[in-house]
Amino acid sequence: MSGVIVHEWLEPHGGAEKVVEQLARVYPDASIRALWNDAPLRFESDRVSETWLARTPLRRHKGAALPFMPTTWRHLGHDDSEWIVCSSHLFSHHARFSGPSRHADKYVYAYTSARYIWHPELDSRGQSALVRLAVPPLKRIDRARAQEAKSIASISRFVQDRLKDSWRRDSEVIYPPVEVARFAGDDGDLTEREDEILAALPETFLLGASRFIPYKRLDLVVETGRAADVPVVLAGDGPLLSQFELIAREEPGAVHIVKSPSHALLRELYRRCLAYVFPAVEDFGIMPVEAMATGAAVIASSVGGAAETVVDGETGVLLDVFDARHMRQAVDRVGTVRAEDSVARAWQFDEAVFRRRIAGWIGE
């Protein structure tokens, strides 16, 4: 059976793009349709088709393009595919073709329902006066389009509950693919400079690694280190870099910054840390699984997707509240985590597991 993979837009980096890569591996003959393609090297050029938005300046301004997306997805042109799988976090599940594919079975792999419509507190784009006026009709349209799907899969139980509330649809949970083999293996040598960076770090430390942006709550990683009297390493980059660099200067020896680590260096940081601390509330959360793949213990929030991957008391600690007492207790508890248990748990989210689940879901 022939099929088509529909995705919002393609970028050089991103977890959703990794999902599309795995979908394309499961179905090597399926074409790919996206609003625009900003990652031309990811797939063969003749496999990806773009929409009219790709020929406009709107491709560089997602916020400005948003009002045009629902209608664009409804007019994708002729296609002969027998099934459609939509990789959706905005409106790609609205996709409709003309020709034989107009009535093809549609499968929706959902990262979330559109936050700026359904959960504007999570997306600043939903807080403008113009968007607020458009929200009621957009909700009706979005919910109606979700009813067209033969089946929906969500990336976590956390998102499953959100979809039930917004779309009034049940969904099957299929966790996103994680490159477990890449983090569990030994490929990728460190450079001389990276060896020097590691040598300058304390022997025992807590690790916070992500983009340096507010909702990642790396400030709570610093607070965890203070509460437990353990040095902290923050690895990444982003708008809050200067703020964290200031803290590192004010607390020499207590806070260390590793800017934009390579894959090999990040893997080594995971392996050496006392625990990877992940306070953010994410829909899934790939990095805690990466950390477990190296054998690391994880301290994470009991709310969100990480609560579904980290096993409290076995591969880490889940916290209801990040306050000094609970953070200190969590650091004490991770000492009992066995590396082999963390690795075994991580393999349950490997890319191969994802491919099997997808093939079974669409093949049902």
**Is residue 283 located within the same domain as residue 242?**
yes
Average pLDDT over residues 141-159: 97
Please give the residue range of the domain that contains residue 17. 3-177+351-363
- Claim to verify: residue 99 and residue 216 sit in the same structural domain: no
Query: Mind listing the pLDDT tens digit for each residue in 342-358?
Result: 999 999 999 999 999 99
148 and 238, same structural domain?
no
Give the residue-averaged pLDDT of 73-89: 94
20 and 168 in a single domain? The answer is yes
Domain co-membership, 69 together with 190:
no
Query: Which CATH number covers residue 332?
Result: 3.40.50.2000
Task: Clarify whether residues 235 and 320 are in a common domain.
Answer: yes
CATH number at residue 149: 3.40.50
65 and 186 co-located in one domain: no
Question: Are residues 141 and 51 located together in one domain of the fold?
Answer: yes
Same domain for 62 and 135, yes or no, is yes
Tell whether the model's pLDDT for residue 125 goes beyond 90. no
Tell me how far apart the alpha carbons of residues 286 and 179 are, in angstroms, rounded to a whole number: 9
Going by C-alpha positions, the residue among 226, 206, 248, 244 that lies closest to residue 324 is: 226
Residue range 233-249: mean pLDDT, rounded: 97
pLDDT of 219 reads 96
**154 has which bridge partners?**
110, 173
Q: What domain count does the chain have?
A: 2
Confidence of residue 54 (pLDDT cuts 50, 70, 90): very high
Higher pLDDT, 118 or 308: 308
CA 114 to chain centre: 15
Q: Is a pLDDT exceeding 80 seen at residue 266?
A: yes
Mean per-residue pLDDT over the chain, rounded: 93
Where do we find the tokens 């059976």?
A: 1
The pLDDT of residue 360 is above 70: yes
**DSSP per-residue codes, 40-86:** TTTS-GGGEEE-GGGGSGGGG-HHHHGGGHHHHHT---B---SEEEE
Q: Do the bridges between strand 105-110 and strand 172-173 make them parallel or antiparallel, or are there none, so unpaired?
A: unpaired
Please state, in angstroms and rounded to a whole number, the distance separating the CA atoms of residues 287 and 266. 10
- Closest by CA to 295, choosing from 185, 202, 141, is 185
Same domain, 77 and 40: yes
The model's confidence at residue 187, banded by pLDDT at 50, 70 and 90, is: low
Instruction: Kindly tell me if the per-residue pLDDT of 119 is higher than 90.
Output: no
